[in-house]
A = this chain, B = another copy of it.
Amino acid sequence: MKVSVRSKSDGRKEILDAAAVAFMEYGFAGTSIDMVAEVLGSTKGKIYYHFKSKTSLFLDVHRETMTTYIEAVEEVAKGPGTPLDKLSGILTTLATQVMERLPYAKVAVEGVDMHMSRSTTPEQRAVLREIIDLRDRGEAILVRIIEDGIEQGLLRPCNPRLIVKPMLGALNWMTVWYRPRPQDTPESRKALADTLVNYLLNGIVAPADGRASA
């Protein structure tokens, strides 16, 4: 058991953070390992000591993101409340995650498209499977909650699988236009998340009666 001021996992975490920042800015193909090293304030050597290849590094960043997502989603899903409450909670959590961990979120967005095409080694394909499974698990949870909501008459009848796509898409699209500002606070982020989630749940068409949305 090693007890040093800097454990191995610390080094890995730092590299993941730096990689996320670099990948966010220039994308996977457009980022060189040297650029990651520069963000890290280090050299390639350190990175290749901890990661086998550029692809592995990218996949690990992606997996890290998805793991964080699924944990947040499952926590809300297992909690109390109506399906509508849970749906709202999950979407709000995800929106907040995107804002607070923008580099990781962007990597996840780019990584989704990278499925296939690349990734040669069996080990990388295993990580890829893991990532895809995490994503599918998250989507399945949402679909299930929506089905419950429809059954209970809380939600409009629809094809949940088709609705989940634009729902998550709208949140993921935040990575394109949202830019953190110095004056941002947890409260202001919460407000933005609420605005978006409220729209995603209630739409924009005015109700026929005078009922106001929550």
Contact = CB atoms under 8 A, between A and B. Distances in A.
Contacts of A170: 165-167, 169-170, 173
A118 B44 CA distance: 23
Contact of A153 (B163, B169, B206): B206
A165 to B, nearest CB: 5
B165 A173 contact: yes
Given A26-B117, A30-B29, A154-B206, A169 B163 contact: no
Interface string A29-70: 110000000000000000000000000000000000000000
Q: Which label, helix, strand, loop or mixed, suits the secondary structure of the A interface?
A: helix
Given A117-B25, A162-B196, A170-B170, A203 B206 contact: no
Tally of this chain's copies: 2
Contacts of A159: 195
Interface in A146-176: 146, 153-156, 158-159, 162-163, 165-174, 176
Given A176-B169, A177-B165, A155 B206 contact: yes
Nearest to A170: B166
Contacts of A154: 205-206
Given A172-B173, A174-B169, A204 B113 contact: no
A27 interface: yes
Contacts of A6: none
Interface string A171-186: 1111011000000000
Contact of A205 (B28, B156, B167, B176): B156
Interface size class of A (residues with CB under 8 A): 35 or more
A131 to B, nearest CB: 14
A204 B25 contact: no
A211 interface: yes
18 contacts: A26-B29, A29-B29, A112-B176, A153-B206, A154-B206, A155-B206, A156-B202, A156-B204, A159-B195, A162-B196, A162-B199, A163-B199, A165-B196, A166-B199, A167-B170, A169-B171, A200-B204, A209-B209
